[in-house]
Amino acid sequence: MPPRTIPVSMPDLSGHEQAYAAEAVASTWISSSGPFLDRFEREFAAACGTPHAVATSNGTTALHLALATLGVGPGDEVIVPAMTYIATANAVTYCGATPVFVDIDPETWCLDPRRIEAAITRRTKGVIPVHLLGHPADMDPIAELARTHGLWVVEDAAEATFARYKGRPVGSLGQAATFSFFGNKIITCGEGGAVTFADPGLERRMRMLRGQGMDPARRYHFPIVGFNYRLTNVAAAILCGQMERREAIVARRREIVALYAAELAGVPGIGLRTDAPWAETAPWMAACLVEPGRFGCVRDDLAATLADRGIDTRPMFIPIHRLPPYEPAARKRRTDLPVTDRLGSLGLMLPTYPQLTDNDVRHVCHSIGAIGAAALRRRRAAAARRVAADDAAAARLPRAA
């Protein structure tokens, strides 16, 4: 019997999610206010160690809302990694500002604090470190640099909900932090997001901007141009169910990533990220680097062969400075991001979700090992055939006198 298909991701909605969503529907509070929304914002803020959380329609709108609330506008520059999902840079662009790309650290795969200062100009207003794939960025030196230069820090924690940095929850480490609750994220409601922050001065403006700019004290009076970035009470109900099981969800994701690391450790040409000693990760996706020389084939051929065997994977993000909307400006700035480019061309994301069994993980790792070994055998056989052909050709040459 062929092994079952293994998707790259799957939401785990096995707790009270369905019952709470049904309760929201039965109550008729299905739009953007209701008790589940209040409960989710309260519980999520507490889990992130911040006084405030504002729920949004997705992680991209959370980013845009955070930047708009901080007053980012035309002419501003914002430092971001290029190794992230496109939304991080797009949110800066929505504000009319310019994302300036800085390389990542080869150990953490997150924004490299040693490379930020060289990118700061008099236009720079802030920095967006991304906690890539669930591993926190090294926030202390980033916060220190930001303080020195009078910049804000917004954490993009879309892939790292409930991770911790030196014991402190992500979401509490900058002026604001943003989260995604898309279907493949650590907790999900299909589409959703949130912004967390400590400064009470931001809350009124953020809630107004989220709700079309309406004055909370005067219905249909809009003193500013806002957006409709609200989350529904039905979606918040699903998130309340997820919040109840968040510790188990994160723990299982950590076990899965540890098992991948153990099983892939001996496979030639497969590289893995090791967690920094100060990181408590909340793994979004397990990932590995495929070094073609030692592994036997390139990343995309490995992914295609895994797909033939029913195992779904994702290539690492294409670095944003290589994508059409951003490439011309990056070239003009002579943007050179070797660590980002290497991860972009060698990185492969592997199936990661709580329902994945240990045997599934072993099956994925065994398949990777077998595909690499077969590719190496084919390569050695081709090299041997070339040598034999060269020897035969040499034998046909006239002998020297």
Ligand X SMILES: Cc1ncc(COP(=O)(O)O)c(C=O)c1O
Residues that bind ligand X (CB under 6 A): 58-60, 84-85, 87-88, 130, 156, 158-159, 180, 182, 193
**End-to-end Cα separation, the chain, in angstroms:** 65
Cβ atoms of 257 and 282 within 8 Å: the answer is: no
Kindly tell me which of 182 and 326 has the beta carbon lying closer to ligand X.
Answer: 182
Q: How far is the CB of 76 from ligand X (least distance, A)?
A: 19
Q: How far apart are CA 166 and CA 3, in angstroms?
A: 41
CB of 358 to ligand X, least distance (A): 26
Report CA-CA distances (Å) from 187 to 20, 101, 196, 239, 250: 15, 29, 16, 7, 9
Distance CA 115, CA 217 (A): 46
Measured distance CA(229)–CA(189) in Å, rounded: 15
The residue (of 88 and 108) whose beta carbon lies closer to ligand X is 88
325, 91 contact by CB (below 8 A): no
Rounded distance between C-alpha atoms, residue 39 and residue 37, angstroms: 5
Q: How many CB atoms lie within 10 A of CB 330?
A: 20
For residue 171, the minimal CB distance to ligand X (Å) is 14
By beta-carbon proximity to ligand X, the closer residue of 81 and 296 is: 81
| Nearest-approach distance from CB 69 to ligand X, in angstroms | 17
* Under 8 Å between Cβ of 323 and 83: no
Taking the least distance from each CB to ligand X, the nearer of 58 and 124 is 58
Pick between residue 58 and residue 305 the one whose CB is nearest to ligand X: 58
SS3 54: strand
- 344 within 8 A of 317, measured Cβ to Cβ: yes
Rounded-to-integer distance, Cα 90 and Cα 60, Å? 8
CB of 167 to ligand X, least distance (A): 23
Structure tokens at 21: 């969503």
Sheet holding 314-315, edge to edge: 270-271, 286-290, 347-350, 314-315
d(CA 174, CA 124): 16
Report the residue number, 136 or 372, with the smaller CB distance to ligand X.
136
Which one, 292 or 351, has the nearer CB to ligand X? 351
Q: How many helices (H) and strands (E) does the chain have?
A: 13, 14
DSSP state string for 327-392: HHHHHHTT---HHHHHHHHHEEEE---TT--HHHHHHHHHHHHHHHHHHHHHHHHHHHHHHHHHHH
Shortest Å distance, C-beta 315 to ligand X: 14
- In the complex, minimum distance from the CB of residue 254 to ligand X, in angstroms, rounded to a whole number: 19
CB of 322 to ligand X, least distance (A): 17
Q: Write out the DSSP string of 102-133.
A: EPBPTTTSSB-GGGTGGG--TTEEEE--B-GG
Closer residue to ligand X (CB): 86 or 119? 86
Closest separation between CB of residue 348 and ligand X, Å? 16
216/227 Cα distance (integer angstroms): 14
Based on CB atoms, which residue is closest to ligand X, 214 or 339?
A: 339
Nearer to ligand X, 83 or 120 (CB): 83
Minimum distance, C-beta of residue 374 to ligand X, in the bound complex (Å): 33
